[in-house]
A and B are shown apart, each in its own frame.
Chain A
Amino acid sequence: MVEPVIAAREVDFWYGQFQALRGVSLDIMDDEVTAMIGPSGCGKSTFLKLLNRMNDFVPGARLAGEILLRGQSIYGPEADPVDIRRRVGMVFQRPNPFPKSIYDNICYGPRLVGIRKAAELDVVAEKALRAAALWDEVKDLLGKSAMELSGGQQQRVCIARALALEPDILLMDEPTSALDPIATAKVEDWIREAGMTIVIVTHNMQQAARISDRTAFFYMGELAEYGPTMELFTSPKETRTENYITGRFG
C-alpha cells in the first residue's frame, strides 16, 4: 500500500469548550487534489489549518488524535511547527501579499531558510513563478509592489510565494472566494495542471467537482463521507451528503 502524504487518525479538536472536530480520520494521497466541502462551520477550514499548525495561535486550542506527515506526527513531541509550515504550504482566502515587491514576496520563505545569494534567489524566484504559471506575466515587473497587481495576480503571487519553499503539499483555504470568475478560472487551471498534492477547502461544489480527484464532505465537525470525487457526487453513500450536494441544506 502506498503511504499517504498526510494521515489523520481520529482527530478531535476544541476551541476552548467548543468541539470543532470529532473523530476525523482521512488519508491524503500523493499528487492528488483533495477538495473539502461542507456547510459553513462544518470544520473543513479548521481541519485544513491543523495540517500546518496554524491553529497553534488560537487561544484555548486543544487536539486529540494524531496527524502524520509522511509518517511523522506533526503534533508529536519531536515536531517543529516552523519546519512543518515550511513543508506544508498554505494559500489563504483573500490574497495577502506583503507590501513589498513581487520578488521580495517570493523570496521571503527562501530567505527565512537562509538562502542569501542573489543568484540563488533569482533561480528560486523564477522557478516558483514558472510553477505558479505567472512568470510570463510578471517577469518584467519583479521590482514592482505586489499590492499593485490585480486580485487574481496577487493570489497567484501568494501561490508562487508558497511554492518557493518547495512544499510537499499545498493547502488552499477557499483561494478563489475573493476573485472574479476569470481570475478564478486561471487559479483552477493552475490547480488542475500543477501535478502536486493539494488540499483545497471550497464552498463551491462545482469547483470541487471540476478540479479535485477526491472529495471530503464535512458535516457538523465530522467527516461524513470521503471518496473519489466522481463517486461522491454521482452516487453518495450518505443521505447527508446527498442532501448537501442536491442543495437541500447549507
Chain B
Amino acid sequence: MIFGYATAARKRRDALAMWVVRAMAGLTLATMALVLIYVAVNGLSAVSWDFLSQFPRDGLTKGGIWPAVFGTLGLALGSMCVSIPLGFGAAIYLAEYAKPGPLVTGIRLGVANLAGVPSVVFGLFGLSLFVALFGFGRSLLSGCLTLGLLTLPTVVAAAEESLRQTPASFREAALALGANRWQAIRQVILPAALPGMLTGAILALGRAAGETAPIIFTAATAFSPALPDTVFAEVMALPTHIYNLAANGSRIAETRPQQFGTSLVLLALVLGLSLAATIIRAKLRRGRKW
C-alpha cells in the first residue's frame, strides 16, 4: 500500500484547511456585517420624517438633512446625464464598430485605467477644468460633470458587456433582411441590450451618490439655507455632510446622532441602488432566452 500511506494525515489536513478557509470567510463577512449593523443601530434613532424633510438648524446641530438629500440626488442624476450618453456611445463603438488596432487598444487602455484613477484626482481635474478654467465655480454643474466622468468607466464596461452578450445571430438576421448596420443596432441590438446597459448605469448611480472627495472640491458646501435654484449654485450633499459633521465641526460629539443618521440614509440610498441593480441583473440572466 505505498500509495495509500498517510491517507489519514492528508484527510486531516484537508479538513483543517477547509475549516481555516471557512473561518477566514466567516470572520471577514461577520466584520463587515458588524460595521453595517453598527451604523444602522446608531443611525436609526436619528432618522425620522422630519430628519429627511427639514433644513439643518442651529449650526448644523439640529434639524434635518433635506438639502443634502436633494443635493446628492441632483448630483447623482446629473452625473448620469453625462456618463450615459458618452458611455453608451463609447460602448456601442467598442462592441459594434471597432476593429482591433492601436486606436481600440488605446481606448480600452484609457478606459480601463480611468477606472483605477483615485477619485480625489478626478476632484483635482474637475477643479482645474470645470471650476477654474470653464468658470462654472463650485457648483452643481461642476460636480455633475466631475462625477459623470468618474463613473464613465463603470458605465462603458457594463454597457459593452451587455452589448456583447446579444447573440451575433440577431445582427446577422437584421442585416440579411436588408437593414443597414445602424438600423440593426437601433432596432434589434439596442432593445435587447438596453436593460443590461441600464443596470450598469444604476450601479454607477450608486457610486456617484456615495463619492465624497471629488465633490468637496467641485460642488459641496457645508450649509445652504435654501435649495439650489440654478445649476451654478453650490449644494449640500450627504457624504460631505457626514464628513463635515464628523471631522470638521466644532461639536463633533454632540452631532453624532446626525452623523449616523445621515450615514444610514446614504447607505440605504447607495446599497438600495446597488441591490436593485444586482437583483435586476440576476433576473435578466435567468430570464434570458438567448
Direct contact between A and B judged by beta carbons closer than 8 A: yes
Residues on A facing B (Cβ under 8 Å): 52, 54, 57, 59, 82-83, 85-86, 89-90, 92, 94, 96-100, 108-109, 112-113, 145, 147-148, 158, 161-162, 165
B180:A82 contact, CB within 8 angstroms: yes
The number of chain B residues with a CB under 8 A from chain A is: 20
Report the Cα distance A193→B63, complex, angstroms. 80
Q: Given A54, A98, A145, which contacts B176 in the complex, CB threshold below 8 Å? A: A54
A83:B177 contact, CB within 8 angstroms: no
Chain B residues positioned under 8 Å from A108 (CB to CB): 174, 177, 179, 187-188
Additional A-B contacts beyond A82-B178, A147-B289 (15; CB < 8 A): A52-B176, A54-B176, A82-B179, A92-B173, A94-B169, A98-B173, A98-B188, A99-B191, A108-B177, A108-B187, A108-B188, A109-B177, A112-B177, A145-B289, A165-B178
Report the Cα distance A30→B178, complex, angstroms. 22
Q: Given B99, B174, B175, B191, which contacts A59 in the complex, CB threshold below 8 Å? A: B99
Interface membership of chain B positions 158-187, coded 1 if the CB is closer than 8 angstroms to chain A and 0 otherwise: 000000000101101111111110010001
Report the Cα distance A13→B99, complex, angstroms. 22
10 tightest CB-CB pairs across the interface, nearest first? A96-B169, A86-B178, A90-B176, A147-B289, A109-B177, A85-B178, A96-B173, A98-B188, A82-B178, A99-B192
B175:A98 contact, CB within 8 angstroms: no
B177:A85 contact, CB within 8 angstroms: yes
B177:A86 contact, CB within 8 angstroms: yes
The closest CB in chain B to the CB of A59 belongs to B99
Q: Given B99, B167, B175, B289, which contacts A54 in the complex, CB threshold below 8 Å? A: B175
Query: B290 interface residue, CB < 8 Å from A?
Result: yes
Cross-chain pairs A/B with CB under 8 angstroms, 6 sampled: A82-B180, A85-B178, A99-B191, A108-B188, A147-B289, A158-B173
Report the Cα distance A202→B161, complex, angstroms. 34
Chain A residues positioned under 8 Å from B176 (CB to CB): 52, 54, 85, 89-90, 92, 162
Interface membership of chain B positions 94-130, coded 1 if the CB is closer than 8 angstroms to chain A and 0 otherwise: 0000010000000000000000000000000000000
